[in-house]
Amino acid sequence: MKNYRIYQVDSFTRERFHGNPAGVVPDADGLTEEQMQRIARELNNSETAFIFKSDSKDYDVEVRFFTPTTEVPICGHATVAAHYVYALENNFDNRRVRQKTKAGILPVDIIKNDNDYSIVMTQGTPDVSEALGTEVRERIAEALGISCDDICKEYPVAISSTGHSKVMVPIYSNELLHGLKPNLQRLTEISADIGCNGYYVFTLNPDEDVLVHGRMFAPAIGIAEDPVTGNANGPLGAYLVHYNIMQNPSEDYFDFSIIQGEAIKRDGTMRVHVEKENGRPSLVQITGDAVAAFSAEITI
């Protein structure tokens, strides 16, 4: 039997009960895969992160991520939450941590400011697909309960990944975005056909300080709606650069801010940084704040 401390952390916000909640177990050594899955199911957050000590000089910690139903390779908001707790427990100053995940070994930068922390997550290699066909586009529109004409004609619907892929679905209207009531079973069926579990539906607002408003649905992995999603907005940055949307092609980087979760009253924000080589995305980083909502201890 061992005591384990469990944190509930709200990522991409400084306000409790906003942003995206994630569970964090900062000293998970000794837990079995079944126990981790049961803890994740009990907490019922979209993801729970489990931090393990390193047994290699190649990385500092290993982090595993579980939804209530399955393990996933990487998670943006749970990475922010995990390293926020890791920094708090160790009273870190600025430092870089190399985390081993099922998406590879990725650097995470801990930035200390005003006795609090921001977390910079470097994501995996950007990979953006060709535009999905008209049939899939129409099926997604139907599943979202909108017309195909509500999806931006100027931009493709495509799959983008920086370690965990999402379908990018640009639409015209914030009002429409916040009113979406998708058919989750239909989205799940499409996921099985296209091999991508998440749908990031977003608007572009070039006249505002915040460029992107978004919502993310991933019912195929047990997430009806995720409040604020690092592994949707990082891939969004790669998608925008890949398709030369809303950015200056002559610059070697693209920075923008997003807000997500407004429709479900769990709003949060993050900053996205995309570096470019030959006009293509080469490196993607997201930066987010966090706050610990509460912690508890269990014995297993």
Which residues form the catalytic set?
Answer: 47
Q: Cα separation of 97 and 117, whole Å?
A: 14
Q: Cα separation of 103 and 75, whole Å?
A: 10
Instruction: Give CA separation, 58 vs 55, 100, 102, in Å.
Output: 9, 9, 14
- Secondary structure of the chain in HEC code, one letter for each residue: CCEEEEEEEEECCCCCCCCEEEEEECCCCCCCHHHHHHHHHHHCCCCEEEEEECCCCCCCEEEEEECCCCEECCCHHHHHHHHHHHHHHHCCCCEEEEEEECCEEEEEEEEEECCEEEEEEECCCCEECCCCCHHHHHHHHHHHCCCHHHECCCCCCEEEECCCCEEEEEECCHHHHHCCCCCHHHHHHHHHHHCCCEEEEEEECCCCCCCEEEEEEEHHHCEEEECCCHHHHHHHHHHHHHCCCCCCCCCCEEEEEEEECCCCCCCEEEEEEEEEECCEEEEEEEEEEEEEEEEEEEEC
Q: Cα separation of 298 and 105, whole Å?
A: 29
To which residue do tokens 């690092």 refer? 230
